[in-house]
Amino acid sequence: MPRVGLTPAAVVGHALELIDEEGPEALTLAAVATRAGVATPSLYKHVSGGLAELRRLIAVRITEELAEQLATAVLGRSRDEAVEALMAAYLDYAGRHPRRYAALPQAPQEDEELRYAAGRLVGVILAVLRGYGLEGPEAIHAARTVRSMAHGFASLCTGGAFQLAEDLTVTRQRLVRVLTEGLRAWPAP
């Protein structure tokens, strides 16, 4: 019988705590079971597909969290203000959860739930881009540009790549300015 209070969502919560503290490479069923206060075989009552299923559920949760943070940030904003809010929210999420961010899949596998969450995340970006009149293929190219800039800067920051003394906040502001100026000059669809 499953432990009272332990659910698949709670197991994912324990796994995310582990990832936040020790990194994605520390994720094992035994480590999650220890955090949950159960024997490792007991996890299969909540995550029947084992470690692969747990990784899938983690990917869905992280993608949903990021999509929600972006959607909240851009609500009621448009154009440059929305892009600035989106980039700030994206980089904030990665900065607050660097190890969790490292576990974020950049390409959804053939998994309906993960594809839905990823679609929501990309949908937020596409909604922002509509403020620039971008639709169809041009919106896709622009969304890829936004994701590349956000992910690249976030990955470099969380990986400790920027070691020089200059303030990263200034770099971040200039990155956003380059992006918004580029979107304003984007070729019309």
The answer, yes or no, to whether residue 55 has pLDDT greater than 50, is yes
Nearest to 174 by CA among 69, 77, 86, 84: 84
Backbone phi, psi, residue 162, to 5°: -95, 100
Tens of pLDDT, residue by residue over 95-114, are: 999 999 988 887 767 788 99
* CATH 1.10.357.10 intervals, the chain: 59-184
CATH of 1-48, one of 1.10.357.20, 2.30.60.10, 2.70.160.11, 1.10.10.60: 1.10.10.60
Confidence at residue 160, expressed as pLDDT on a 0 to 100 scale: 84
Confidence at 4, pLDDT banded by 50, 70, 90: low
Question: Who contacts 114 (Cβ-Cβ below 8 Å, separation ≥6)?
Answer: 56, 59, 60, 63, 105, 108
* CATH 1.10.10.60 intervals, the chain: 1-48
Q: What is the CATH number of domain 59-184?
A: 1.10.357.10
Please state the pTM of the whole predicted model: 0.89
Structure-block tokens of residue 107: 């390409």
Mean local confidence (pLDDT), 133-147: 95
What's the CA angle centered on 78, arms 73 and 80, to 5 degrees? 90
